[in-house]
Amino acid sequence: MAFFEIKNVRIIGIASCMPKHVCYTKDSLVNDKYNADEFIRSTGIESRRLDESYTTSDLCVHAAEKLISDLKWDKSEINVLIFVTQGPDYLCPSTACIIQDRLKLSKECYASELPLGCSGWVYGLSYAASMLSRGTVKKGLLLVGDARLFQKTTDPLVGFAGTATAIEYSEGATGFQFHFGTDGSGYDAIIIPDGGTRNQVSQSSFELEDVDGKKMNRLESRMNGMDVFSFAISTAPKSIKKAMTYFNRNLSDFDYCILHQANIQIDEIIRKKLNLTADKVPYSLKEFGNTSSASIPVTISTQLKGKVENKHTEFICCGFGIGLSWGTVMFSTDNLFISDLVEV
Partner 1 sequence: MEKLLKSIAEILEVEEVDCRKKLSEYEEWDSLAGLSLIALLDSDYGITMNGKEIQSFDSIEDLCNEVLKRTKL
- The footprint of partner 1 (CB under 8 A) covers 33-34, 38, 42, 212-213, 224-227, 229-231, 233-234, 265, 269, 272
What per-residue string of b and e applies to 165-194 under the rule 16 or more CB within 10 Å gives b?
bbbbbbeebbbbbbbbbeeeebeebbebbb
Helical (H) or strand (E) element with 112: strand 110-114
As measured in angstroms, the least distance from the Cβ of 265 to partner 1 is 6
Question: Phi, psi at residue 181, to the nearest 5°?
Answer: -150, 160
Nearer to partner 1, 38 or 253 (CB): 38
Q: What is d(CA 54, CA 57) in angstroms, rounded to the nearest whole number?
A: 8
Nearer to partner 1, 45 or 103 (CB): 45
Nearer to partner 1, 132 or 158 (CB): 158
How many residues in total does the chain contain?
344
Nearer to partner 1, 22 or 269 (CB): 269
As measured in angstroms, the least distance from the Cβ of 38 to partner 1 is 8
As measured in angstroms, the least distance from the Cβ of 269 to partner 1 is 6
Q: What are the beta bridge partners of residue 49?
A: 22
As measured in angstroms, the least distance from the Cβ of 35 to partner 1 is 12
Residues whose CB is less than 8 angstroms from the CB of residue 234 and which lie 6 or more positions away in sequence, other chains included: none
Residues whose CB is less than 8 angstroms from the CB of residue 342 and which lie 6 or more positions away in sequence, other chains included: 15, 16, 17, 18, 62, 63, 66
As measured in angstroms, the least distance from the Cβ of 235 to partner 1 is 9
Contact 267, 283 (CB under 8 A): yes
Contact 320, 230 (CB under 8 A): no
Nearer to partner 1, 272 or 312 (CB): 272
As measured in angstroms, the least distance from the Cβ of 231 to partner 1 is 7
CA neighbor of 78 nearest in space, from 67, 88, 93: 67
As measured in angstroms, the least distance from the Cβ of 318 to partner 1 is 17
Query: 95-102 and 56-71 are packed helices; what angle lies between their axes, rounded to 10 degrees?
Result: 40
As measured in angstroms, the least distance from the Cβ of 325 to partner 1 is 16
Contact 313, 300 (CB under 8 A): no
Nearer to partner 1, 147 or 324 (CB): 324
As measured in angstroms, the least distance from the Cβ of 20 to partner 1 is 32
Q: What is d(CA 118, CA 204) in angstroms, rounded to the nearest whole number?
A: 29
CA neighbor of 80 nearest in space, from 169, 4, 14: 169
Contact 258, 280 (CB under 8 A): no
Nearer to partner 1, 167 or 262 (CB): 262
Nearer to partner 1, 135 or 225 (CB): 225
Nearer to partner 1, 68 or 236 (CB): 236
